[in-house]
Amino acid sequence: MNYKAPSQCPICGDELYITRMGCTRCNTNLEGKFTGCKFCMLPEEQLEFIKIFIKCRGNIKDVEKELGISYPTVRNRLEVVIQALGYSIDKVDYIDERRVPQNVSEKKQLILSALENGEISPQEATQQLRKLGK
């Protein structure tokens, strides 16, 4: 049985690196300081999300259906994964503009609903509500 290698030190929390690798077929061993892959360091929940995202070919509506979660939640999870992989991204609204009425009060209600459901943080809700006020 193969186990997933931990990516953080259980003592100090710093990043772990691989010091030994071996071939199961010929028993060749390598020793040194090797870095793990970025994906190997992600928690299982994020890896599962990536698998489903790829299976759905990046179609957020299909990911929504597969996971039974809302559009803002899919976007939020995707952003978390992107940042966990070390990429910086521009903040974008979590509102799907194709599904949002143009009425400002309805947009505010959608933002507050997403906040209430835990799909966005209070800071994100505040930021989006301020944008609507401009």
One domain for residues 124 and 101: yes
Q: Exposure string (b/e) for 69-100, b if CB count within 10 Å is 16 or more?
A: bbbbbbbbbbbebeeeeeeeeeeebbbbeeee
One domain for residues 31 and 66: no
One domain for residues 85 and 99: no
pTM of the model: 0.53
One domain for residues 82 and 55: yes
Residues 43-98: pLDDT tens digits? 889 999 999 999 999 998 899 999 998 888 898 899 889 988 888 776 544 444 44
Q: 15 pairs with which residues across the strands?
A: 8
CA 6 → CA 44, 82, 128, distances in Å? 11, 20, 37
Mean pLDDT of the chain: 82
One domain for residues 103 and 116: yes
CA distance 24 to 102: 60
One domain for residues 126 and 99: yes
Read off the DSSP letter of residue 57: T
One domain for residues 102 and 85: no
One domain for residues 49 and 84: yes
CA distance 134 to 129: 9
One domain for residues 80 and 117: no
Q: Which residue do the tokens 């997933």 mark?
A: 4
Q: How many domains, the chain?
A: 3
Q: What percent of the chain stands above pLDDT 70?
A: 88
Q: Which domain holds residue 102?
A: 94-134
